[in-house]
């Protein structure tokens, strides 16, 4: 595993890969969320995962509480990784980060991702910034985390570990709650949305709103599971990601898309 370079970790470097998949985790999550992806995906694709301050090897750093800070660091760290085609995957908070990062790259006239995977998050136009989770008393926040079923019970019950994790979780929630959609032209790259069939936070209707954010192809696929289907349905999800990555790369190289 490579050392973090700015905010991206590469678990299995693939110098001959034709495409990099840059992954952005959910609120409170770190690069480790995508460790298994590097083993499951073909060596044609190199997986790089965002490791923001306040978690993992950067646990002692002050977490960011504004989306703009996450975007600024991601943008800087992306520069040395854009020497070959790349795509974005983001789950929940990560979906917002990769979407706004793609728009930032376009505004700056920089290389754009071949495509976006947005997972577990309704389209950005419907989001309304309301401070709720970020300011909840600790007991209530832990109950919410338990409801999402994204944090193992043994972690939630470890008071010392949660004391270390809660600042980054609160900061991530604050970044999402402070988000405000700004109208821009649709992105020129395809967007694929993924969701969990039992996710109360992002159902098929909300995920379908991402269709408005692309002038290219849009597709939506639902998987068994709740908000954290990316763990419970990891195999089928990674397979679907690999299929789209291969298609996007073929198209970027000038080959006709498969019928």
For residue 77, which of 22, 124, 36, 27 has the smallest C-alpha distance? 22
Catalytic entry in 2, 75, 79, 92: 92
* Catalytic annotation present for 92: yes
CB atoms within 10 A of CB 238: 19
Q: How far is CA 27 from the centre of its chain?
A: 9
Contact 186, 215 (CB under 8 A): yes
Contact 54, 171 (CB under 8 A): yes
Q: Just list the catalytic residues.
A: 92
């Amino acid at each position: 595993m490579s050392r973090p370079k700015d905010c991206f970790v590469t678990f299995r470097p693939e110098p001959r890969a034709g495409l990099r998949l840059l992954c952005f985790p959910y609120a409170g999550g770190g690069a480790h969320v995508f460790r298994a992806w590097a083993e499951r995906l073909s060596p044609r694709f190199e997986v790089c995962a965002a490791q923001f301050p306040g978690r993992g090897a950067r646990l002692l750093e002050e977490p960011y509480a504004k989306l703009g800070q996450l975007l600024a660091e991601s943008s800087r760290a992306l520069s040395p990784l854009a020497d070959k085609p790349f795509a974005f995957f983001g789950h929940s908070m990560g979906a917002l980060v990769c979407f706004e990062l793609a728009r930032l790259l376009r505004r700056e006239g920089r290389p754009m991702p071949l495509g976006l995977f947005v997972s577990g998050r309704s389209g950005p136009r419907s989001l309304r910034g309301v401070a709720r989770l970020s300011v909840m008393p600790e007991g209530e926040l832990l109950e919410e985390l338990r409801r999402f079923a994204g944090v193992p019970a043994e972690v939630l019950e470890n008071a010392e570990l949660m004391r270390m994790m809660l600042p980054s979780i609160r900061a991530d929630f604050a970044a999402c709650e402070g988000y405000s959609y700004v109208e821009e032209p649709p992105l020129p790259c395809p967007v694929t949305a993924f969701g969990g069939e039992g996710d109360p936070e992002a159902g098929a209707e909300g995920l379908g709103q991402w269709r408005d954010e692309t002038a290219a192809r849009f597709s939506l696929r639902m998987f068994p599971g709740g908000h954290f289907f990316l763990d419970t349905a990891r195999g089928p999800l990674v397979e679907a990601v690999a299929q789209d990555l291969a298609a996007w790369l073929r198209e970027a190289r000038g080959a006709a898309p498969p019928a």
